[in-house]
Amino acid sequence: MVGLTYRDVEETLAAVHRIRPDKRIAFRARLKHLQREGWPEGANTGTGKRFNYQLSSLMQMALAIELLQAGLSPRRAVAILKAGWQETAISLMAVRVAHPILAQWGELGTQDLQEIFWCVHPEALQDLAKSSAGDEGADDIVMLRPGQLPPYFLSSLEVAGFGGQNRALVIGLRALTIEVDLKLFDVVPKLDSEEMPMLFCAELLGSDLTLERREIVRSFADFLKARRQ
């Protein structure tokens, strides 16, 4: 597993978003606000306790910052991410290898593997809207391939209705992951880029996944291991 410090995470994300040196204190405050909301998972350990950040923690923060960039509050961003993290994590695992390799694995099929898009209904006013108890953040995240984007948006607009989920934020997970990794390598040069997919799989297998998703991760890890032998 990759052990990262808070400084590693901050330095990496600041580089990704080109934060000016004189604005680092303000940026740090945004990250700390996310931590107070319980994100990344397990980071709100209390005073005096050090949290060991991992690749998954870094990506959780990277996605949260993407939502903050779109104008969402830290609380809303965390609610969306908590509700959809397991599905997001599987996609982040897949985009860490080239799409021809994914095609060889076969679990995701063979079409449109050059990118996987993370589509989010931001709904910044969700906490003011009528909703069922306990559904905050539910069904807000969808993973799509390029060919699925047009029909998804058309069908969403048809059923949204006035005031509904007729807006979406689209993020290319492969592009984001590559950018975060490149900046992380500058901050922590000892990391081996070829080891990153296996390291990420190991982290996911050590996390609280559903049985079905755990089997997917294990299948991917075994596939990667077999390719290296």
Tell me the pLDDT tens digit for each residue of 36-91: 999 999 887 566 677 889 999 999 999 999 999 988 889 989 989 998 899 999 99
Does 31 fall in a domain? yes
Domains held by the chain: number: 1
Between 73 and 14, whose confidence is greater? 14
Does 1 fall in a domain? no
Does 78 fall in a domain? yes
Does 138 fall in a domain? yes
Q: Which domain holds residue 216?
A: 6-228
- Own/partner contacts of 215-220, CB < 8 Å, gap of 24 or more, are 216/90, 216/107, 217/90, 217/93, 219/105, 219/107, 220/93, 220/94, 220/105, 220/107
pLDDT at 65: 96
